[in-house]
Amino acid sequence: MAGETSLATLLRSMSPQLNAGEYVFCTLRDGQWPAGLDIIGSFREQEGLTVILERRHAEQAGFSFDYVAAWITLNVHSALEAVGLTAAFATALGQSGISCNVIAGYYHDHLFVGQADAERAMQVLRDLAANAE
């Protein structure tokens, strides 16, 4: 199933959803995580394995972190080759003073914003969708 590539369609239909919970980014220098740990996402870097997981799971595993995020999913199936979507929402959030860490999945884009900025970020994204041309 191919994803959407039209920027106007992507923006109008992005339908942001705030997922419940608090999420953190941790790094595992040895690149291994304990069995049974529920990882939301990961990326292997030269310095170690970055993992995204619920704050409570990181605390239970004894992992350190310094950024607590809210997780927003854009519920539009964006094609991986689509041009401009990330730039559009990152610009809108940036103009509102909201940092954003983006993970592109096969079907959706996932935004991690500071926990304190979650509701404001949702409003910015809703406004961006409502005003898309």
Distance CA(22)–CA(32), nearest Å, equals 22
Terminal Cα distance for the chain, rounded:
25
| pLDDT per residue as tens digits for the range 58-111 | 999 899 999 999 999 999 999 888 999 999 999 999 999 999 999 999 999 999
Asked if residue 123 lies in contact with residue 116, where contact means CB atoms within 8 angstroms, the answer is no
pLDDT of 48-62, one tens digit each? Answer: 899 999 999 999 989
